[in-house]
Amino acid sequence: MASTATGASRAAADQLRAAMKKADCTPGQIALEIRGQFGIRPRAAWRLAHGLTLQEVADRVNDLASTRPGVAVAADASLAARWEKWPSRTGRRPTPSVLVVLAEVFGCTAEDLIDFKDRQEMPPGDLQLLQHGAPRPQAPQRPAPPADVVVPEPEADPVQAAATESAVWAQWAESTNVGDIALEQLTADVRALGRDYLCRDPAIVFRDARRLRDRIFELLRGHQRPQQSSELYVLAGYLCCLLAWMSSDLSPRLDYADTQGRAAWLCASLADHTELRAWTLSTRSKIAFWDGRFRDAIAFAREGAALQPSGTVGVLLACQEADACSRLGAAEEAHAALARAHEAQESLQGEDDVGGLLSCPDLRRVNYSTGVKLRTGRASAALKEAADALVGPSPHAYGTTAQMRITLACAHVAMGESDGAAEALRPVLTLTPEQRLAPIAERMHEFAAFVARSPMAKSRTASNLQSAVKSWHLESAPRQLALSPGTLTN
């Protein structure tokens, strides 16, 4: 027997409904006729009797559930279809609360929406609840169970009463404000933000990430199964990581970014998630580095590497350790860390949970490598490695490419090649203002200082470069955002 309507049966059911409505038949009579003629299950038959699509049913269920204290449903067309198909293998069992809301949508009783096949598969507790009458949502009187369930009046048989009480609790424990499909969509949205930050306006991506984080925080304030709560904490943690990274790119107030990092760490601890812990430590290492706390940056990077996470975060953590060591003049430790980064990349296992900004492809690793080599007196090696990596289209972010071009320009300056420096820097000078992130701006300051200390400091080329860099900074992203309050919250 069919569990839901096919395209052909939907068209025929529409014709039957129109004819029966013309004859003043009720929705119940139409549903019964549709079941008899087309072999359709009761929930699908009632939907067709009202001429509703799956998405329209899902929308009405969500609207009604949102007005019921203690009832939370996140339905879409796919979930509505699975309710209709149950108890087939591809279906999903509607709880008594769902059946009550569906019955209100269709103007029938909850028992009208189940047949003998449903009854054979339903848990005894669910059937008992329905037999006591459709549970009607009410204002909560006590913390648990929630008010969408009416506890039947005590009966003479205490054993039956105890079973009913357990059934009521089980219904509450099974309820959730987020479904599997919703979790899949939220995960996809987080991954999209990680990718988008590499190529879209960073202020807009920041705003979108903030809104998505708030949605997940709100879900976590509700009720869901433990595994679903854990997944939500992981998603919230990754969003806080993204916001921390973006905050350090967009604002000079690195303490704001660090606050996001601490929130991400809390989420990782609550979910007991190794990869999220590692990415949080990588993010905090980045913030400490740009705050001038190089020893803290090293400590965070080493703590993250000790977790032995999967994906590319191990590569990035080793790179970050090398970067901070080179700032402290510890050349030997820096190059040892670079070697570990290369080894981590060669022995890579697993995939990144988010990707995009929270990933470390080879160009990103080379960016760190060339910067470390330049700082430790290996300008020739840095120049060759950077030039080789920049051949062809960039497979990663404009920010990574820009920083590597600045390193390449510095290497040309160190080699006494002023024209090469100007050529390397030209694409950076043409970045749009919203792409001139704080790390790129800081690297441009470093380039200007590098030129000022070089033998070419008094040349016309050096003067032109210094002037171009100074003008470039006037339209950097942090400066523009500072002059445009509210940009990140609109």
**Amino acid 384: pLDDT:** 94
393: pLDDT strictly greater than 90:
no
Structural domains of the chain sorted by starting position, each given as residue range(s) with its CATH number in brackets: 7-138+153-174 (no CATH), 179-354 (1.25.40), 361-490 (1.25.40)
| Tokens 């490598």, located at residue | 369
**Amino acid 180: pLDDT:** 83
pLDDT tens by residue, 404-455 = 999 999 999 999 898 899 999 999 999 988 888 988 999 999 999 999 998 8
Band (394; pLDDT cuts 50, 70, 90): low
Q: What are phi and psi of 358, to 5 degrees?
A: -95, 60
Do 49 and 34 touch, CB atoms closer than 8 A? yes
| Long-range contacts, stretch 111-119, CB < 8 angstroms, 24+ apart | 112/28, 112/31, 112/42, 112/46, 113/42, 113/43, 113/46, 114/42, 115/41, 115/42, 117/41, 117/87, 118/42, 118/86, 118/87
Section 310-330 average pLDDT: 97
pLDDT tens by residue, 153-166 = 545 577 777 777 77
Cα(114)–Cα(383) distance, integer angstroms: 73
Q: What are phi and psi of 352, to 5 degrees?
A: -75, 140
Cα(384)–Cα(390) distance, integer angstroms: 10
Q: Please, what is the end-to-end C-alpha distance for the chain in angstroms?
A: 52
Cα(421)–Cα(451) distance, integer angstroms: 10
Cα(357)–Cα(247) distance, integer angstroms: 13
**Amino acid 77: pLDDT:** 82
487: pLDDT strictly greater than 50:
no
Q: What is the pTM of this model?
A: 0.66
pLDDT tens by residue, 238-255 = 999 999 999 999 888 899
**Amino acid (1-letter code) at residue 270:** L
**Amino acid 59: pLDDT:** 86
135: pLDDT strictly greater than 60:
no
**Amino acid 72: pLDDT:** 56
Do 410 and 450 touch, CB atoms closer than 8 A? yes
Radius of gyration of the chain (CA): 30
Band (141; pLDDT cuts 50, 70, 90): very low
Q: What are phi and psi of 319, to 5 degrees?
A: -65, -40
Helices (runs of H) and strands (runs of E) counted in the chain: 24, 0
**Amino acid 69: pLDDT:** 54
pLDDT tens by residue, 330-378 = 999 999 999 999 999 999 988 999 999 999 999 999 999 999 999 999 9
pLDDT tens by residue, 173-195 = 777 888 888 899 999 999 999 99
**Amino acid 142: pLDDT:** 42
- Give yes or no for a cis peptide into 158 (omega within 30° of 0): no
482: pLDDT strictly greater than 60:
no
pLDDT tens by residue, 204-249 = 999 999 999 999 999 998 888 899 999 999 999 999 999 999 999 9
149: pLDDT strictly greater than 90:
no
| Tokens 């079973």, located at residue | 163
**Amino acid 140: pLDDT:** 39
Band (139; pLDDT cuts 50, 70, 90): very low
Give how far Cα 242 sits from Cα of 219, 282, 283, 438, Å: 19, 11, 8, 15
Band (92; pLDDT cuts 50, 70, 90): confident
Which residues touch 6 (CB under 8 Å, ≥6 apart)? none
**Amino acid 483: pLDDT:** 47
CA 481 to chain CA centroid, nearest Å: 24
- Percentage of residues of the chain with pLDDT beyond 70: 87
User: Mean pLDDT, the chain, as a whole number?
Assistant: 86
Other C-beta atoms lying within 10 Å of the C-beta of residue 206: 24
**Amino acid 138: pLDDT:** 41
Residue 84 in 3-state DSSP?
A: helix
65: pLDDT strictly greater than 70:
yes
**Amino acid 147: pLDDT:** 47
pLDDT tens by residue, 266-281 = 999 999 999 999 999 9
Section 257-262 average pLDDT: 94
Burial 157-194 (b: 16+ CB within 10 A, else e): eeeeeeebeebbebbbeebbbbbebbbeebbebbbbbb
**Amino acid 192: pLDDT:** 94
Tell me the torsion sign for CA atoms 203, 206, 212, 216.
negative
Cα(434)–Cα(352) distance, integer angstroms: 27
> Which of 120, 220, 118, 114 minimizes the C-alpha distance to 177?
220
Beta bridge partners of 358: 355
Do 271 and 265 touch, CB atoms closer than 8 A? no
